[in-house]
Each structure stands twice: as C-alpha cells, then as structure tokens.
Amino acid sequence: MPSSDSHDLRPAAAALDGSGTVLVGVDIGGTKTAVCLSLNPPDVLWRHEFATRPEAGPAHALESIMRAIHQGLRETGHTPSAIGVSCGGPLDSTAGVIQRPPNLWTWEEVHITSLLAQEFGVPCALENDANAGALAEHRFGAGRGTEHMVFLTLGTGLGAGLILQGKLFRGACNMAGEIGHVRLTETGPVGYGKAGSIEGWASGGGMARLGVNLVEEAIARGEQTTLAPIASDLTARDIATELQKGDAISRRIVAASGARLGEALAMLVDILNPEKIVIGGLALRFGEHLLAPARASLEREALAAPVAACEIVTAELGERIGDVAALCVAGGMVVQD
C-alpha cells in the first residue's frame, strides 16, 4: 500500500498515461448509489445516480452498477484502469465483501470486488465510506495539511474515518471509527441496531425517527407543524425542507439531533485530540441549524484545551464527497496505519 506521505492517486492497474483509461468510482449508500468516471480526480468526467432500494436485495443494485459502468465507458469512449467502491460498513475491505450494513440489511456477504473485477477485467477495491471520505477530504478537501483529522459521514447512517499522524487508522480488525454504534442514552431512536446510539440520534435515519416522536408529541400538545401530514413517513430531507419554510418543530428536531451530535464530537475530541473534525452529509444540508447546537454540546462536554485545538467544519468537497471518495479508493490512495 502507499505510504502516508505518498498522496498521488495511483490506479491499481497502471498509471494513467493519457491512453484513454479512466478510474471508476462506485459510491453505495442506503438511499442512493452513484457511479462516476474520472481521468483526473477529483474532476468527474461522467456520472450516473440511481436509488439503491435495499429492500430489493443486492442483485438489483449490482445489475444497475454494472449497467451504469458499461454505459459510462461507452459514452465517453474510455476503458477502465481500476474500480473503487465506497460503502458503509461493516465490510471486509481485504476480501472485498459487504457484510450486511444496517442500511443495506439485505446485502449479506456480497463479494462485490470479485464480481466487478470479473465483469470488467480490472482490479477492484472496497473501502468503508467513512474511511474513503476521510481520504478524500484529507487529500482534496477541508483536511488538507492536517496530521490528525476525523471525518464523519452523517448520512443515512453515521461512521467516522480517522486520519491519525497522517495515516488512515483502521484498528485491530479494520473496524476503527464505528462511533455510530456507541450508546449515548439508555433509550432513544434506534440506529445501528441499538436504541439510544449515536447513529440513532444523529444520522439521517435517526433524525427521521426522532422527528416522528417529536412531531407526535407536538401534535398531542396542540402545536402546529407542517410535518404533521407526513409524520408517519418522515425523512431527513422532509425535515430540511420544512425547516427552510420556518417550521418550528423541524427546527426543534434538528437542534435536538445536533446537541446529541455534539456529545459524540466531545468523545472524539477528548480521546483523539484532532486538529479538525470534517462533517459531511447532514451538515451540508442543515448547516448551523445542526452545527451550532453541536458546538455548544462539544464545548460543554469536552476538555477546554482539545476543544480549542479542534476546528469543526463541513466537508469542503460538499455533495461531491461520495464520488471523490470512491475515486480515491480506485486510485489506490488507501494508506494503512
């Protein structure tokens, strides 16, 4: 693997030499999957997105991924040099196997790298989306120049990618950074299979579940909210939409989720003492509505010195983070601890 001070994107097959080869990135999420092609990351040459539909099982998504890659190669006239897949864990990055992530509950032992390598005849690598996002932000985004950085996915689920002493830190069995599984409270929204977990309180899925409870409580008290008609099928996107319209209950939901997120940030700051915590996903959508209460909790819960040393920022790559993260995996930028 490349060393920590080697940050060039090096495809697993061969260096890009202008011969018409491209890197292929596949970003798999619980809600959507994107396929992109790049001659020169982080620039994207071609992109296609579709609904993941985890309830339909992995075969549906795998067929769509392969069809999209073929379409992209055909439309651009290029050939692939390597394929990188970014996906939420748990997964085995060495074996290239997705192992039933909470938001892809039907994906039981999916050997995605071997399937894609067989289809396209090029090397394929798999990486946890939080690790891949950390690499992308460290190389191309808000984490440039840092030695100690944490990246939080904050999407449908919640995970952390850790850059410590300039290197991606994996842990003893490649499971470092699963902070979403940590329990904050004895009861609360369920996330990562655990009530009251950080993922339950602060992920997109968790925020939606929290929102259902808070909307029901508000209705019982006679409060008005534009979320009432959709309360039984609420999503984080719905909450963001109504928040922008000035709905008070939407603001209350985001603030409550942000406060819990801040408690998680305090754990990271006290334990790891990072220079930056870079947050993607919901932080881009909700901005200071989410981050202001998170910072307040962080300052209240963590030690003053590491709080002062740590900057909390949104992902600089913005909505492109998933694409660039997958391309980083394809480019062989994964560095070991």
Domains and CATH numbers, the chain: 21-128 (3.30.420.40), 142-316 (3.30.420.40)
CB 137 within 8 A of CB 145: no
Low-confidence ranges of the chain (pLDDT < 70): 1-19, 333-337
Strand partners, 86: 27, 127
pTM of the shown model: 0.85
- Measured distance CA(80)–CA(73) in Å, rounded: 8
Per the prediction, the chain carries an average pLDDT of 90
Tokens (6 digits) for 204:
């997109």
Question: pLDDT value at position 332?
Answer: 80
Phi/psi of residue 21, each to 5°?
A: -95, 145
Largest Cα span, the chain? 66
CB 294 within 8 A of CB 263: no
Question: pLDDT value at position 89?
Answer: 84
